[in-house]
Amino acid sequence: MGNQGPKQHGYRNMALKRTGDGKKTNQKAYIKTFGCQMNEYDSERIAYHLTKAGYTLTGRLEGSDLIVLNTCAVREKAKNRLYGHIGNLKKHKKENPHLIIAVGGCTAQNLRADIQKDFPFVDIVFGTFNVSQIAQLVAQKQKGRSNICGVKEQGFDYQLGQSVRPQPFKAFVPVITGCNNFCSYCIVPFVRGREKSLPPEAIAAHIKDLAHQGVKEVTLLGQNVNSYGKDLDQAIDFSSLLEKMDPLGIPWIRFMTSHPKDFSPKLVKVVAGCDQAVNHIHLPLQSGSNAVLEKMNRKYTQEHYLGMVQDMKANMKNCSITTDIMVGFPGEEEKDFKQTMHVVKKARFKRAFTFIYSPRERTAAAKIKDVVPLASKKKWFGELVAVQNRISYEENKKMEGKTFQALVEGYSPKDKGLLQARLYDHTVVLCRAPKQLIGKMVYLEIKQAKAFYLIGNYQGKC
Ligand code: 5AD
Ligand code: SF4
């Protein structure tokens, strides 16, 4: 899934009113999220359970009574950064011995024993399958238990709707959890278990409720949404789920992530034909080399991938494709990297999340001797980023002078005098407009393109 590094949930002491059940306390909880959208959704669930138990959510680490780090394990760097963060919390614990520190999520699922050994001041370690138990684990700590570990594999144990959204007008809706693919570099199947689809009736009821609440954008989530339904008794696939969700009253429906091996021409037709499903597809390429793709266990070829890109561009209006790309997979050579660059230039992605391969414990690729020199990895990475940045800029430039619908999300983090909105494909547009428009769909004329965002003129409400 598109993975944008550490994020802190934008909660501002607002959640108690929304979900508290009368047990108001003065206790404040601070939640920090690392990693992908599934982790962000898990943090929304953590927020739900903590506010239900009487906590107020805070955006400030200082003065909080409970700190929850929701961790990512996808790359080695994420783990290293997490270890730095946990280490920094020691001084807070010294200043406030009543402070409770909980570490959850993918790294906690993966390395629970190491975390408990290396950081004895961490009070609670809980895994991806134990998010719903966070309030009970905290209560155990408050009763004096120490070294609490809630990590076991038990499939998902939650109901849609048990979450607190930092932005009330946008919602994540997981439709399938876990992954059966075992791409050879990827740790996800080890920390999130096997695929499990949520029943379509529950998803539809939840989406109707979100529409009733005035939610403007829903993202259907899954490690591989295209596997949706394979484990259900009824005959349903992701395309037919999407068709069922389209008329339920949400202005924008998006989904991620799609796996190229399962992405079908049928889905392209359905997205093109749906009114609310946006014409943006996140389709991780990983590599353009057939030899590397085979070693990655991706089960598609460059030719298949480019065929799908062509199909999308031919059939979806203003089709926008984003991707994830990795360089430096064990055994990758210059000729393989050239194939990746060939696809990048042909597909002309709107944006790409780019990574240098890092070995992850327990995965098949971690057993292959990594002989790619670091200098090559860095050189390829630099070339890839430079070419993709140029393409992103050129693609943004094509939007100048055109008017698009956009969802206004809040103030620009860099200039509070401007509002930040997003287009159907998540491109950021900065504009000057009244703050009452936050959470509303508007029309923006694109005035100027930058490599990573656009500048727009407010034209009116949709
Ligand atoms: N090393 C580097 N990047 C990785 N990703 C997944 N596993 C690894 C790894 N071991 C990248 C993939 C994936 C994205 C979420 O993270 O590109 O699509
Ligand atoms: Fe990881 Fe591959 Fe599953 Fe994506 S499809 S989560 S890359 S194993």
Ligand 2: residue of 221, 223, 362 to mutate (most ligand atoms within 8 A of CB) is 223
Asked whether residue 366 falls in the same domain as residue 435, the answer is no
Token duo for residue 47: 């927020």
What CATH number does the domain containing 121 carry?
Answer: 3.40.50.12160
259 CB less than 6 Å from ligand 2? yes
Asked whether residue 145 falls in the same domain as residue 245, the answer is no
- Domain-ending residue, one of 373, 397, 421: 397
pLDDT at 288: 98
In a domain, 229, yes or no: yes
Asked whether residue 69 falls in the same domain as residue 119, the answer is yes
Domain count within the chain = 3
Atom of ligand 1 nearest to the CA of 286: 17
Query: Please, what sign has the CA dihedral across residues 196, 197, 202, 207?
Result: positive
74 CB less than 6 Å from ligand 1? yes
Cβ neighbours around 350 below 10 Å, total: 23
Asked whether residue 271 falls in the same domain as residue 316, the answer is yes
Asked whether residue 260 falls in the same domain as residue 329, the answer is yes
In a domain, 319, yes or no: yes
Asked whether residue 109 falls in the same domain as residue 175, the answer is no
| β 56-58/66-71 pair status | unpaired
In a domain, 345, yes or no: yes
In a domain, 366, yes or no: yes
72 CB less than 6 Å from ligand 1? no
What CATH number does the domain containing 426 carry?
Answer: 2.40.50.140
Distance CA 346, CA 220 (A): 28
358 CB less than 6 Å from ligand 2? no
Average pLDDT of adjacent 10-residue blocks, the chain of 462 residues: 45 41 74 93 96 95 94 84 88 91 90 88 91 92 78 73 95 96 95 93 97 98 96 96 96 97 95 95 98 98 98 96 98 97 98 96 93 95 98 97 97 93 97 96 97 95 92
CA 456 to chain centroid: 26
Atom of ligand 1 nearest to the CA of 325: 17
226 CB less than 6 Å from ligand 2? no
pLDDT at 1: 53
Which residue's CA is the closest to the ligand 1 atom numbered 5? 74
- The full 3-state SS of the chain, as one line of letters, equals CCCCCCEECCCCCCHHHHHCCCCCCCCEEEEEECCCHHHHHHHHHHHHHHHHCCCEEECCCCCCCEEEEEECCCCHHHHHHHHHHHHHCHHHHHHCCCCEEEEEEHHHHHCHHHHHHHCCCCCEEECCCCHHHHHHHHHHHHCCCCCEEECCCCCCCCCCCCCCCCCCCEEEEECEECCCCCCCCCCHHHHHCCCEECCHHHHHHHHHHHHHCCCCEEEEECCCHHHCCCCCCCCCCHHHHHHHHHHHCCCEEEEECCCCCCCCHHHHHHHHHCCCECCEEECCCECCCHHHHHHCCCCCCHHHHHHHHHHHHHHCCCCEEEEEEEECCCCCCHHHHHHHHHHHHHHCCCEEEEEECCCCCCCCHHHCCCCCCHHHHHHHHHHHHHHHHHHHHHHHHCCCCCEEEEEEEEECCCCCCCEEEECCCCCEEEECCCHHHCCCEEEEEEEEECCCEEEEEEEEEC
Asked whether residue 393 falls in the same domain as residue 407, the answer is no
pLDDT at 315: 96
In a domain, 165, yes or no: no
Atom of ligand 2 nearest to the CA of 192: 6
Atom of ligand 2 nearest to the CA of 259: 5
| 67 CA → ligand 1 middle, Å | 27
Asked whether residue 194 falls in the same domain as residue 308, the answer is yes
What CATH number does the domain containing 376 carry?
Answer: 3.80.30.20
CA atoms within 13 A on the CB side of 280: 20
pLDDT at 145: 75
| 5 CA → ligand 2 middle, Å | 18
Range of the domain at 114: 11-150
Asked whether residue 363 falls in the same domain as residue 425, the answer is no
| 19 CA → ligand 1 middle, Å | 35
Which residue's CA is the closest to the ligand 2 atom numbered 1? 186
186 CB less than 6 Å from ligand 2? yes
| 327 CA → ligand 1 middle, Å | 10
pLDDT at 169: 97
In a domain, 187, yes or no: yes
In a domain, 4, yes or no: no
In a domain, 156, yes or no: no
CA atoms within 13 A on the CB side of 173: 31
